[in-house]
Amino acid sequence: MKTARGYLLPVTLFAVPLLLALIGPFFASGDTTKDVPFDANGRLGTDFVGRDVWNEVLLGGRSLILVAVAATICTYVVAVPIGLIAGMTRSRGLDEVLMRPLDLLLAVPSMLMLLLLVSIAPQSVWLLVGVVALINLPDVIRISRAAALSLSARPAVEAMRLQGESRIRIGLGYVARSMRRTLAADVGTRFTGATYLIASASFLGVGISPQASDWAAMVDRNRGGLFVQPWAVVVPALLLVMMAVGANLVFDRMLRGTAR
């Protein structure tokens, strides 16, 4: 009972923006007639070009979530194999070749990298996905390498080796499978990190088309009307903060639940 109550606040915080983002677009009206800009009447009033703010809120969360999920998946697809190889290999040279370039990635602040790569190259969603995945890469590679390293020192792995199992079979069949829990514990952090980066980029107007409905972009574009029509700014900002706080608390609870 106590655990259920402990979940109530985090899950509510997380679920409200998440559901709004995912199913909101089904309830949004396609009616894009423009009214007076920054009109405070009506449900949530209108935005800087006179669009209905509630309708924009319904539309504006989905792309953020989808891009963040895609970026997180890409990170793992690339990082786990690299970490697995680096952790399992007995050749120090290969380990160095795989791990050294990560030191270079860490030399560039992540927001700077995002701003440079995404704004200079031609605009596309996949580029944004790729850059966010790249920024998260070093951490996930290090985590999977550390996990693979400690797993492949286990007696079970030694026994399999002595039995003549191939390295690929040991790697995929035993080490990779045993890494699941370590990696699962880390997914939450990567997802919230990716969401943070993508939202901040959209706020700066990077990687997003000028017409797109997006919570982060709404905060930026409607800032000028903060004194007249605060809802157009406050509602999307509040949803973004709720989602970040809720996601962190939910993932943390889940982690502590499995650790017990």
Partner 1 sequence: MTRYVAQRLLLGVVQVLVVMTGMFFLTEALPGDAAVTIAGDNPDPAIIAALRDRLGLNEPAWHRLGDWLAAALHCDLGHSLIGPRSVADIVADAAAPTVLLAGLTVVLLIPLSLGLGLLAAHREGSRWDRLITGSTIGLYSAPEFAMGILVVTVFAVQLGWFPPTAVGTSLAGNPAVLVLPVFVLLLRPICSLSRLVRAGMIDAQRSDYVQHARRIGLSPVRIRLLHALPNALAPSVQQLARTVDWLVGGVIVVEAIFVVPGLGTTLAAAVAARDLPVVQGLAVLLAATTVLVNLLADIAARALAPAAEGVR
Q: Which stretch binds partner 1 (CB under 8 A): 46-54, 156-164, 178-186, 197-205?
A: 197-205
Q: Among residues 73, 94, 76, 57, which one has the least CA distance to residue 137?
A: 76
Smallest gap from Cβ 191 to partner 1, in A, equals 9
Q: Does 86 bind partner 1 (CB under 8 A)?
A: no
When the beta carbons of 86 and 176 are compared against partner 1, the nearer one is 86
Give me the residues paired with residue 52 across strands: 46
CA distance 143 to 133: 15
Smallest gap from Cβ 24 to partner 1, in A, equals 18
When the beta carbons of 88 and 198 are compared against partner 1, the nearer one is 198
Give me the residues paired with residue 46 across strands: 52
Among 18, 186, 203, 225, binds partner 1 (CB under 8 A): 203
Smallest gap from Cβ 23 to partner 1, in A, equals 22
Angle between helix 92-105 and 62-88 (nearest 10): 150
Smallest gap from Cβ 210 to partner 1, in A, equals 12
Q: What is the CA radius of gyration of the chain?
A: 22
Site residues for partner 1, 109-128, by CB under 8 A, read: 109-112, 115-117, 119-121
Q: Among residues 178, 151, 184, which one has the least CA distance to residue 255?
A: 184
When the beta carbons of 152 and 192 are compared against partner 1, the nearer one is 192
Task: Say how many C-beta atoms besides its own lie within 10 A of residue 26's C-beta.
Answer: 8
Number of residues binding to partner 1, judged by CB under 8 A = 46
Backbone dihedral region for residue 19 (phi beyond 0: left; psi -120 to 50: alpha; all else: beta): alpha
Q: Does 153 bind partner 1 (CB under 8 A)?
A: no
Residues ≥6 apart with Cβ < 8 Å to 223: 233
Buried/exposed code over 95-110 (b: 16+ C-beta within 10 A; e: otherwise): beebbeebeeeeeeeb
When the beta carbons of 33 and 211 are compared against partner 1, the nearer one is 211
When the beta carbons of 141 and 176 are compared against partner 1, the nearer one is 141
Smallest gap from Cβ 163 to partner 1, in A, equals 32
Sketch the per residue contact string, 214 through 243, with partner 1: x for CB under 8 A, - otherwise.
--x--xx--x--xx--x--xx-xxx-xx--
The C-alpha angle with vertex 145 and arms to 143 and 148, in degrees rounded to 5, equals 110
Site residues for partner 1, 89-108, by CB under 8 A, read: 103-104, 106-108
User: Taken in order 232, 69, 72, 245, is the CA torsion positive or negative?
Assistant: positive
Among 16, 149, 204, 254, binds partner 1 (CB under 8 A): 204
Under the rule (CB under 8 A), what is the footprint of partner 1?
103-104, 106-112, 115-117, 119-121, 192-193, 195-196, 199-200, 203-206, 216, 219-220, 223, 226-227, 230, 233-234, 236-238, 240-241, 244-249, 252
